[in-house]
Chains A and B, each alone.
Chain A
Amino acid sequence: MSSAQPLLEVKGIVAGYGSVEVLHQVSLEVREGEIVSLIGGNGAGKSTTLMCTSGVVPLRAGEIWFAGKRIAQAGSGVRADLLVPMGLVQVPEGRRIFPRMTVLENLMMGAYTRNDPAGIAKDLEHVYQLFDILKTRSSQLGGTLSGGEQQMLAIGRAIMSRPRLLMMDEPSMGIAPLLVARIFEAVRELNREGLTILLVEQNARAALKLSKRGYVLETGRVTLSDDADKLLVDPRVREAYLGD
Chain B
Amino acid sequence: MAARFASFARGQLIALGALALVPLLDLALPAAGMESLQLAGASRSVVVFAILAIGLNIVIGWTGLLNLGIAAFQAIGAYAFAILTWENYPFQIGFWPALVAAALIGALAGALLGAPTLRLRGDYLAIVTLGFGEIVQETLKNVEVVTQGTKGINPLPAPFGLTSDRAILWFYAYLAILVVVVYLCRNLEFSRMGRQWFAVREDELAARCMGIEPDKAKLKAFAAGSALAAVSGALYAAALGSTAEPASYGFEISILALCIVIVGGIGSITGVLVGAMVMLGITDVLLPLASDKLQDAGIGSTANVFSSPNNYKYLPAPGRPRCSTPSPVSTSRPRDACWSRAMCPAGSSPPA
Residues of A with Cβ closer than 8 Å to B? 54, 56, 79-85, 89-92, 96-101, 105, 108-110, 112-113, 115, 117, 157-158, 161
Q: Which residue of B lies closest to A158 (CB)?
A: B209
Is the CB of B196 closer than 8 A to any CB of chain A?
yes
**Max chain A Cβ within 10 angstroms of own Cβ: one of B1, B207, B209:** B209
A112 touches B198 (CB 8 A): no
Give the interface size class of chain B: 10 to 19
- Determine chain B's interface SS by DSSP, over half rule: helix
Q: Which of B174-182, B210-218, B275-283 contacts A (4 or more CB under 8 A)?
A: B210-218
Check A97/B213 contact, CB under 8 A, given A112-B195, A112-B196, A112-B199. no
B202 touches A89 (CB 8 A): no
A-B contact pairs, 6 of them (CB 8 A): A97-B206, A98-B199, A109-B210, A112-B196, A112-B211, A113-B211
**Max chain A Cβ within 10 angstroms of own Cβ: one of B1, B192, B210, B213:** B210
A109 touches B195 (CB 8 A): yes
Alpha-carbon gap, A79 to B212, bound state (A): 10
CB distance from A224 to the nearest CB of B (A): 29
Is the CB of B208 closer than 8 A to any CB of chain A?
yes
Alpha-carbon gap, A98 to B199, bound state (A): 7
A157 touches B210 (CB 8 A): yes
B202 touches A115 (CB 8 A): no
Check A109/B199 contact, CB under 8 A, given A80-B213, A81-B213. yes
Alpha-carbon gap, A117 to B1, bound state (A): 8
Q: What are the residues of chain A within 8 A of B195 when measuring CB–CB?
A: 105, 108-109, 112
Q: What are the residues of chain A within 8 A of B192 when measuring CB–CB?
A: 112
Alpha-carbon gap, A56 to B209, bound state (A): 9
Q: What are the residues of chain B within 8 A of A91 when measuring CB–CB?
A: 209
Q: Which residue of B lies closest to A55 (CB)?
A: B208
Is the CB of B203 closer than 8 A to any CB of chain A?
yes
Neighbour of B198 across the interface among A54, A56, A90, A101, CB < 8 A: A101
Q: What are the residues of chain A within 8 A of B202 when measuring CB–CB?
A: 98-101
Q: What are the residues of chain B within 8 A of A110 when measuring CB–CB?
A: 210
Check A56/B205 contact, CB under 8 A, given A81-B212, A83-B211, A157-B210. yes
Alpha-carbon gap, A83 to B213, bound state (A): 11
A81 touches B211 (CB 8 A): yes
Check A92/B211 contact, CB under 8 A, given A98-B198, A101-B202, A109-B199. no
Q: What are the residues of chain B within 8 A of A113 when measuring CB–CB?
A: 210-211
Q: What are the residues of chain B within 8 A of A97 when measuring CB–CB?
A: 203, 206
Alpha-carbon gap, A158 to B210, bound state (A): 8
CB distance from B67 to the nearest CB of A (A): 20
Q: What are the residues of chain B within 8 A of A56 when measuring CB–CB?
A: 205, 208
A89 touches B209 (CB 8 A): yes
Alpha-carbon gap, A91 to B203, bound state (A): 13
Q: What are the residues of chain A within 8 A of B1 when measuring CB–CB?
A: 115, 117
A81 touches B206 (CB 8 A): no
Q: Which residue of A lies closest to B2 (CB)?
A: A117
